[in-house]
Structures are given as structure tokens and as C-alpha cells.
Chain A
Amino acid sequence: GESVGLHLPTLSVQEGDNSIINCAYSNSASDYFIWYKQESGKGPQFIIDIRSNMDKRQGQRVTVLLNKTVKHLSLQIAATQPGDSAVYFCAESRMEYGNKLVFGAGTILRVKS
């Protein structure tokens, strides 16, 4: 989920298990949502996106679920691997505003081998 200040929430999972990272977004008018992965010293890397007319979208090993009623977004990673260790950010935008992204604070995912 979201956090304030320096203390990001951390999710620790065993290699091979499934991971679920949650995000509460703020603007009920947002209609486009993205998950990014950020490794140390790198810029955010696109994982998967979803538009508000959908409630689920699947990619390779990843699934994003959108619940507009409670303004909640989740990222599911199947068979988590050590290379999945990173900080994960959700971001929201309203398409009509030029896709300006509003980011959550992030969640640290640690994968134990």
C-alpha cells in the first residue's frame, strides 16, 4: 500500500511464491493506471498498464487488478524470482491532462532465495 515519508512498506516473499503489491489511488477521476519497477540506480521501468474501462489485465507473469469502487489497484507477480526484487510504484493519470502521472510512494519487494 501507500506510505508516508522515508519508511516504504516492504514485502518479503520466498522465491517461487506469488507476490501481491497493493496501491490505493487518490483521484476518482483517474482513468489510466500504470505499474513501474525501479531497480537501484535506474529509472522506473514500465511493467503493465490498465485503463479504467477494465478491471483486470494480464501480462507475462504479471496481472493488474483495478477496483474503482474502492480506488484500489494491485499487481500480482507469479512465481516471483530474485530479479523481481525492486521498488514498485503505481501511478495514475487523467488522459485529458496530457497523461501527467501521479505516483504513489512505492513498495519494496524483497525476494528470498
Chain B
Amino acid sequence: NAGVTQTPKFQVLKTGQSMTLQCAQDMNHEYMSWYRQDPGMGLRLIHYSVGAGITDQGEVPNGYNVSRSTTEDFPLRLLSAAPSQTSVYFCASKGRGQPQHFGDGTRLSIL
């Protein structure tokens, strides 16, 4: 049981490049979410999904897109990377009545 798997673990991009951060869970959880964590701050919600085909915006959605075509996968897309998007990105999933389980993050630097 791998839990929540995020790839890649590290990535460096140039301003304006696009990229997809991958997140997969094998626990058949309906709810999945993406957070970003900046130095000295807590996690902030970017987008979330309550099930396949359903997504919604969180606290800081601008510059990010998501889709949920399957229960297992919830990719996060940066269409045109900006230095302000340099951060650590965490994906999480949860089942009914359970707390959110987090992956180990993707560390993204944008030059």
C-alpha cells in the first residue's frame, strides 16, 4: 500500500514553462487536494476534488489547473510558471470520516 505518491520530487523550471505535477493514491479515496507550502507558513489549499469529474478552487487557485478523470489520479498543472510559484507542493487524499493523508511533496523552483 503506497498511500499518496507524488512525482517528481524535485523540479526546476524557467519562467513561462509549463509542467504537470503528478499525484496518485491507491486507497480508493474520493477526496483529493493540492496545497502549497511556503517558508515559515502553513499549507494553503490550491484546488480540491470530491470525486472523479468534480473539481473546485481553494484559497490560492490562480495560475493552476486541475482535472480528475479517475479516482486515483489528481494532476496539478502550471500553464505558465512564474517565480511566485516557487514552493513545495503537497497532494493529499482522504476517505469518508478519515483525516487527510499527505504525500511527501514536490519541491519546485522557478527561475
Contact = CB atoms under 8 A, between A and B. Distances in A.
B39 A6 contact: yes
Contact of A42 (B44, B56, B104): B104
B50 A43 contact: no
A105 B40 contact: yes
B100 A99 contact: yes
B74 interface: no
Given A104-B42, A105-B41, A99 B94 contact: yes
A41 B33 CA distance: 19
Contacts, number: 61
Contact of A44 (B50, B58, B59, B102): B102
Interface string A1-41: 00101111000000000000000000000000010100001
A96 B71 CA distance: 21
A43 B42 contact: no
B40 to A, nearest CB: 4
Interface in A71-110: 89, 91, 98-106
Contact of B31 (A6, A43, A99): A99
Given A43-B105, A44-B90, A46-B101, A103 B58 contact: no
Contacts of A3: 40
A67 interface: no
A34 B40 contact: no
A43 B94 contact: no
Interface of B: 4, 31, 33, 35, 39-45, 48, 50, 56, 58-59, 90, 92, 94, 99-105
10 contacts: A36-B102, A43-B104, A43-B105, A45-B102, A46-B101, A89-B42, A99-B31, A101-B43, A103-B35, A103-B42
